[in-house]
Amino acid sequence: MMTIIILCGFLGFLCFIQWLWRRRRLPPGSMGWPYIGETLKLYTQHPNTFFSARQKRYGDIFKSHILGCPCVMISSADAAKIVLVSQAHLFKPTYPPSKMKMIGPDALFFHQGDYHSTLKKLVRASFSPGAIARSVPEIEKIVLRFLPNWENNSTIHTLHEMKKYAFDVAMNSAFGDIDQQEIEGIKCLYQILEKGYNSLPLDFPGTPYHKAMKARKKLSDRLNKLIEKRRENSEKGGGLLGVLLKAQEENGLSDNQIADNIIGVIFAAHDTTASVLTWALKYLHDHPNILEDVRREQEGIRRKLQSEDNRGLTWDDTRQMSVTSMVIQETLRSASILSFTFREAVEDVEFQGFMIPKGWKVLPLFRSIHHSPDFFPQPHNFDPSRFQALVKPNTFMPFGSGRHSCPGSDLAKLEMLIILHHLTTSFRWKVIGAKDAVQYGPFPVPKGGLPIQVYRRNCNTEYNRK
């Protein structure tokens, strides 16, 4: 009996020593307050301040605790490549549990292996250059219906308006032709969902998270009814939903899997694109010489359209927008809307001299890499010309990297090009209020969502004269 007690004590001592050893080998850093961790600091400080302060204090690898999860943040391009590409099998894609529940556990973002490969192939087919090229007329139609309303208002809330635009494009991409009443019902539920998505995951009556989870169930029910209705149509309808329904039987997809992936795509295609466009208008307003370069390029394209019976834009036209494309790239780099992505260690991982415990989140910090002077000289300057040359691989990752990079990146760029074409050729705008203040929700955007006044452009006067 005594031998067993001694043996148990010895084994317990070894486990304690192992625990101490693993703890000592964790990256340096602060875990913040119990449960809350450093979440409030992350979402109330400028991301550059939050990340750079810890990077200076702890180095390129440090630990933290956000959204209820212990995590390791990495801010070097080489380390990010290891996590996202070269040793991606050790770091599965993941989100905090609260976000996974809200989007849906069957969304492709959260999976690896055959299921992920199947879904990624189908989504890519829906968002391939060939597929989205056919959507140019429909996106332009949304723009032409949308922009004239701006000049009838004294002040425009840019972020709010861009969210409406990006949502309409996302709905068209997800569903193709869909009844307007159905769109409004989905939009109403989605807005409730969005408010709870980045809130603290407190599932009590009255909290944004609780309201969002109730809206999520209603949204799922609505989508399942729409899926059943589409299934009765031999053509299955358009958009991503049509692609998934046509492949449902062959690939063994359930209705819930289809619904989760539709919701996931709307999430991915909506908020981030709106935030990038808001920053693009801010940067163009603040750099009139760059705005003039964009206007000159777009005027040349408009003259071409007018000379060809006033036809609409085509995919080939958007391929001729090199200056505007560089502005979008520089906006993606400078604003870095997606400051990081989530991965999870699938086992205890030895990583550049530290131990990352199994189950910990790992966050490659895109923002820190995009603002590194080693890769982008004078990173705080807005300079689209830096993209005239190819950037070093794995240093510019606005849509992620590796097999889990965003499949809708070409669509996002396309809808930005189309709206910037019409904005710069037909309108001018002036920012109202504080010009350099930033708000977080959680993506950093200009204060107040960039209030602007919009005027119909008079081609006989100097563009954007103040």
Place 252 in a pLDDT band, splitting at 50, 70 and 90.
confident
Say what the alpha-carbon torsion angle 402, 404, 405, 408 is, to the nearest 10 degrees.
Answer: 150
In the predicted model, what is the mean pLDDT of residues 232-251? 83
- pLDDT higher than threshold 90 for residue 297: yes
CA atoms within 13 A on the CB side of 465: 7
CA 263 to chain centre: 14
- Could you tell me if residue 14 is inside a domain? no
CA-CA distance, 281 to 215, in Å (whole number)?
32
- Could you tell me if residue 1 is inside a domain? no
DSSP state of 399: T
CA-CA distance, 297 to 252, in Å (whole number)?
48
Comparing CA positions, the residue from 434, 419, 405, 465 lying closest to residue 278 is 419
> What was the pLDDT predicted at 16?
43
- Could you tell me if residue 461 is inside a domain? no
Which residues lie closer than 8 Å to 370 by C-beta, 6 or more apart?
333, 334, 336, 376, 379, 395, 396, 397, 398
List the alpha helices (DSSP H) in 252-287: 255-286
Range with the largest mean pLDDT of 134-138, 271-275, 460-464: 134-138
Q: Please state the pTM of the whole predicted model.
A: 0.87
- Could you tell me if residue 464 is inside a domain? no
Token duo for residue 334: 């400078």
Other beta carbons within 10 Å of 177: 10
CATH number at residue 97: 1.10.630.10
Range with the largest mean pLDDT of 188-202, 365-379, 389-403: 365-379
In the predicted model, what is the mean pLDDT of residues 264-286? 90
Place 414 in a pLDDT band, splitting at 50, 70 and 90.
very high
- pLDDT higher than threshold 50 for residue 19: no
- Could you tell me if residue 462 is inside a domain? no
Higher-scoring residue by pLDDT: 433, 398: 398
CB-count burial class (<10 Å; 0-12, 13-18, 19+) for 294: buried
- pLDDT higher than threshold 60 for residue 461: no
In the predicted model, what is the mean pLDDT of residues 186-214? 86
CA-CA distance, 319 to 284, in Å (whole number)?
20
CA-CA distance, 133 to 147, in Å (whole number)?
22
Considering its fold, how many domains does the chain have in total?
Answer: 1
- pLDDT higher than threshold 60 for residue 391: yes
- pLDDT higher than threshold 80 for residue 18: no
Which residues lie closer than 8 Å to 302 by C-beta, 6 or more apart?
421, 425
Comparing CA positions, the residue from 80, 28, 26, 24 lying closest to residue 54 is 28
CA-CA distance, 426 to 106, in Å (whole number)?
43
pLDDT in tens, 21-30: 445 589 998 8
Comparing CA positions, the residue from 286, 232, 300, 246 lying closest to residue 429 is 286
Amino acid at site 436:
D
Q: Judge whether 411 and 132 are in contact, CB under 8 Å.
A: yes
CB-count burial class (<10 Å; 0-12, 13-18, 19+) for 414: buried
Which residues lie closer than 8 Å to 269 by C-beta, 6 or more apart?
166, 169, 170, 173, 174, 408, 411, 412
CA-CA distance, 279 to 285, in Å (whole number)?
10
pLDDT in tens, 43-94: 777 777 888 888 888 988 989 998 778 999 999 999 999 999 888 889 988 8
- Could you tell me if residue 4 is inside a domain? no
Place 323 in a pLDDT band, splitting at 50, 70 and 90.
very high
Comparing CA positions, the residue from 408, 325, 328, 421 lying closest to residue 131 is 408
DSSP strand pairing (69-74 vs 361-364): parallel
- pLDDT higher than threshold 70 for residue 11: no
In the predicted model, what is the mean pLDDT of residues 206-223? 90
- Report the b/e string of 387-407 with b at 16+ CB within 10 A: beeeeeebbbbbbbbbebebb
Q: Could you give the percent of the chain with pLDDT greater than 70?
A: 92
Q: Judge whether 93 and 85 are in contact, CB under 8 Å.
A: no
CA-CA distance, 183 to 199, in Å (whole number)?
25
Instruction: Give residue 319's domain range.
Output: 27-456
Query: How many residues are there in the chain?
Result: 466
CB-count burial class (<10 Å; 0-12, 13-18, 19+) for 254: exposed
65-69, 272-276, 278-282: least confident range = 65-69
15-19, 69-73, 242-246, 356-360: least confident range = 15-19
